[in-house]
Chain A
Amino acid sequence: MTAISRREALQKLAVGSVVPVAVTAGLTVLPETAHASEVVAPVGALGMLYDTTKCVGCKACVSACARVNDLAPDTRLDGLHQAPLDLNGYTKNIIKLYRPADGSAFSYVKQQCMHCIDPACVSACMFSGLTKDKGTGIISWNGSKCVGCRYCEIACPYSVPKFQWEKFNPKIVKCELCKDRIATGLQPGCTTVCPTGAVIYGKREDLLREAKRRLAANPGKYFENRVFGEEDGGGTQVLYLSHVAFEKIGLPTLGTESIPERLKWQHKLYKYLALPVALYAGMVGVMRGNWKHHITELKHEQEKTGLRPQL
């Protein structure tokens, strides 16, 4: 048995595995074009439409949300009042105010889960503790499958999922569109109590139609004359109309591609585990020859020195 030269090793590897790698790697350099997301909303997708021009910042939705979801009052601000500063382990819905120092237009904003059409949190979740309902498109959390890794918090572009850091048995807390109320024919807590109709509940397609009606009826009133969530980040089921820039009310610039689409090449490389298995077989094939030679050398060395060979 003779040693295989490096060139031969490379040739062998090429036959076994480098070819598929090169082909797949070659495909990945195709230009990335901006295109609408491949994932579409479920037919029965439910959602909400929030309109900054109608919100008066009364926070009735915040307390209604906490009440109907049985959330413990977050009194950490002063030890007495329920006054959450942000979405957190006890707050699934919050109202904030954007008010620039220069006195230009201010705006309230309501924050809760956007119920993305192609959600990053669901893609991230190891054992599907977060799932998107096939019928309603509502994203909900299942405690029996969550290991508390918090990858959903890293992945969500809207910083929505929150963790109960101080608990022995911590939960991931986020808006689930009051799915239990919806199941009994009720509306979500927040839309039920909103006095001005700033946030309304319905089927996503109806809400989108209503939003576009408002845009058409009020040209120039809304930022960019468009609905946030129609296509942003692959589309969301909670839609926003705003009279100030979307980024000022905390909505990020995402483009039309969904976050999980960034993983599409990963999925292709791992398809049926074919590529890893081919690479494995190629490497073992090359190493078998090399290893036999290595063992022969070790035995030869042993003859000379009288020392036990070491693998």
Chain B
Amino acid sequence: MKRWERGVPVFGVPILTPAFFWMCVLAVIAVVLTLYRTVVGLAKVTAMTDAYAWGIWKSFNVMVLTGLGSGAFAVGIAANIFNRHKLHSVMRVALLTSFLAYSTGLLMLGVDVGRPWNFYWAALPWKWNLHSPLLEVAICISIYTAVALFLENVPPVLEYLFYEKPQTRTWVTKLDSLFERFFPIVMGLAYILPMMHQSSLGALMLLGGNRVHPLWQSSWLPLIYVWAAAYLGYACVSIAVMLSKLAWNRGLDLDVLDELNKIMAGLIIAWTVFRFGDIIYRGVLGTAFQPNFFAVLFWVETALTLGPAIAMLSAERRRSLKVAFLANVFVALGGMIYRFSPTTLAFRPKAAAFYFPSINELLISFGYIALAIAVFMLAVKKLAILPDSNEGWMRMAEYEKKQNPEVQLTGYSAAATAGHD
């Protein structure tokens, strides 16, 4: 077992791997299809209809995947407000996954809307319809991604410049000290904005009225929705670091994973209790026992999230990597299905309406996800994102020394660098 002490780039492996190549291919296909969609309109490319006017681009790429990309917000609050010190080690993973999920989500929004050229109204706040939850979502997600998440992801890039481009050191050091001083102001934004837009994503479907099945439609939908984003964020960070172990044989810090899993389990159990309480209070629990698709869907969501959460209460199971990994995968699946339900699976616009995404729609959706994965694969090899021990950093430094002796990666004790500042 290792102790995670700092971010260390993945080293000694090529950037252009088959996986990376195919992700890029998928991304290029999506970009080409996006251009095609721009020319021919939505009907030829998607299976959306007037009944299901929102397809997977909004309901999956935005509403589900930004939930999965809520690690920066959910793990960040535990690390920085509730002082869970251990979690600082996975913050860079959380920040990067969130940034990629949100920025590709925003791209998808642009592809999805029919008259994107009218978006310039967003720059004129006095023209906003403040009653629209979608307005809140659009403005808030844009600011969160372009300001808060962007700034939070700058330090690893500055670090890269510091080592690799010595001529930039003067201003990198200056920027570093600025970040050191003002980071809490940025982090505050990075926590309040997701609380707002992740709950507003739930509020979107309040206007869906009775067309959303009563097991999902609730005045508390905004709170239940943002809550699901919180535990999804934990699952996503755990899965990312565990997959990195499989892909690049990185060491795992079981204490940190333990902490992540404990918090995730607590969030899910409280979420489930609250959700059931709301359903019982509204008197619609009976609909969960009707022999139909919606009841099955509801119990699948509950089983996929609550089951692993209960399993993760046991310290022994948390220490078993296989069990912990599967638990996180199930939670991610269950939470994603929950986030997908109000807009799509449990949305019943009329009796005879059906929606299944077309091939091109799926290719565009997956292509932008592939783009996010490709950027992640590239970033962890260039930047110090994935956590490792100090020892791991030393090994990387030794390896890099052989490649490029000019780059100095160690020997920066405060006394030694005092003269440079």
Nearest residue, chain B, Cβ from A5:
B83
Number of residues of chain B lying within 8 A (CB) of chain A? 87
List residues 18-44 of chain A with CB under 8 A from any CB of chain B: 28, 32
Q: Which residues of A contact B (CB under 8 A)?
A: 3-6, 9-10, 13, 28, 32, 86-89, 120, 123-129, 143-151, 153-155, 157, 159, 162-170, 252-254, 259-260, 262-263, 265-267, 270, 276, 279-281, 283-284, 286-288, 290-291, 294-295, 299, 301-303, 305-308, 310-311
A310 to B95, CA, bound (A): 14
| Contact between B188 and A306, CB atoms less than 8 A apart | no
Find the A residue at minimum CB distance from B38.
Answer: A168
Residues in chain A near residue B49, CB distance under 8 A: 165
Looking at the assembled complex, report how far the CB atom of B79 sits from the nearest CB atom of chain A, in whole angstroms: 9
- Segment of B23-31, B130-138, B362-370, B372-380 engaged in the interface with chain A: B130-138
Complex Cα gap A157–B347 (Å): 12
Q: Which residues of A contact B179 (CB under 8 A)?
A: 311
Q: What is the interface of chain B mostly: helix, strand, loop, or mixed?
A: helix
When distances are taken between beta carbons in the complex, the residues of chain B under 8 Å from A280 are: 188-189, 192
The answer to whether A151 and B119 touch across the interface, beta carbons within 8 angstroms, is: no
A-B contact sample (13 more), CB < 8 A, given A123-B132, A148-B113, A283-B192: A10-B82, A88-B50, A126-B135, A127-B128, A146-B115, A147-B118, A149-B113, A153-B50, A164-B41, A170-B115, A284-B185, A290-B184, A302-B414
Q: Given the known A-B contacts A28-B219, A146-B115, A287-B184, are A126 and B155 also in contact in the complex, defined by CB atoms under 8 Å?
A: no
Residues in A with CB closer than 8 Å to B415 are: 303
* Chain A residue with the shortest CB-CB distance to B208: A154
Q: Which residues of chain B (69-117) have a CB below 8 Å from chain A?
A: 80-83, 85, 88, 92, 112-116
Contacts of B205 in A (CB 8 A): 154
**Inter-chain contact total with CB atoms closer than 8 Å:** 222
Q: Is the CB of A252 within 8 A of B204?
A: no
| Cβ contact within 8 Å between B6 and A148 | no
Q: Which of A126, A143, A260, A279 has the most CB of B within 10 A?
A: A126
Among B195-203, B257-265, B399-407, the stretch that binds chain A is: B195-203
Q: Which residues of A contact B40 (CB under 8 A)?
A: 168
Contact of B121 among A145, A163, A265, A283 (CB under 8 A): A145
In the bound complex, CA of A197 to CA of B260 (Å): 68
- Does B390 have its Cβ within 8 Å of any Cβ on chain A? yes
- Bound complex: CA A89 to CA B114 (Å): 13
Question: How far is B204's CA from A150's CA once the two chains are assembled, in angstroms?
Answer: 12
Complex Cα distance A254/B210, Å?
Answer: 8
Q: B322 on the interface (CB 8 Å rule)?
A: no
Contact at A147–B188, with CB atoms within 8 Å?
no
By the criterion CB–CB under 8 Å, are A310 and B7 in contact?
Answer: yes
- Do B113 and A157 touch across chains, with their CB atoms under 8 A apart? no
- Identify the interface centre among B6, B43, B188, B415: most chain A CB within 10 Å of its CB: B188
- Across the A-B interface, give the 8 residue pairs with the lowest CB-CB distance, nearest first: A148-B114, A153-B53, A165-B43, A148-B115, A166-B43, A284-B188, A155-B207, A150-B53
Interface centre among A125, A253, A294 (most CB of B within 10 A): A294
Which residue of the partner chain, among A164, A283, A291, contacts B183 with CB atoms under 8 Å? A291
* B192 and A120 contact, CB distance less than 8 A: no
The answer to whether A260 touches B207, judged by C-beta atoms less than 8 angstroms apart, is yes
**Which chain A positions have C-beta within 8 A of B211?**
157
| Minimum Cβ distance to chain A for residue B390 (Å) | 5
Q: A254-B210, A280-B188 are in contact. Are A154 and B131 (CB under 8 A)?
A: no
- B410 proximity list for chain A (CB < 8 A): 306-307
| Complex Cα–Cα for A87 and B51 (A) | 11
Selected contact of B83 from candidates A6, A162, A288, A299, CB within 8 Å: A6
B118 to chain A: closest CB distance in Å?
A: 5
Choose one: A10, A86, A253; the contact of B210 (CB below 8 Å). A253
A154 engages B121 (CB within 8 Å)? no
Give complex CA distance A129, B134 in Å: 13
Residues in B whose Cβ lies below 8 Å from that of A295 = 180
In the complex, chain B residues whose CB is within 8 Å of the CB of A303: 413-415
Question: In the assembled complex, how far is the CB of residue A293 from the closest CB belonging to chain B, in whole angstroms?
Answer: 8
0/1 per residue, B229-270, Cβ < 8 Å to A? 000000000000000000000000000000000000000000
Chain A min CB distance to B30 (Å): 20
Task: Evaluate contact between B207 and A124: CB separation under 8 angstroms.
Answer: yes
CB of B132 within 8 A of CB of A170, answer no
Of the residues B121, B156, B187, B412, contact of A302 by C-beta under 8 Å: B412
> A310 near B155 (CB under 8 angstroms)?
yes
- Give the contacting residue for B390; candidates A169, A262, A307; CB below 8 A: A307
Q: Which residue of B lies closest to A255 (CB)?
A: B210
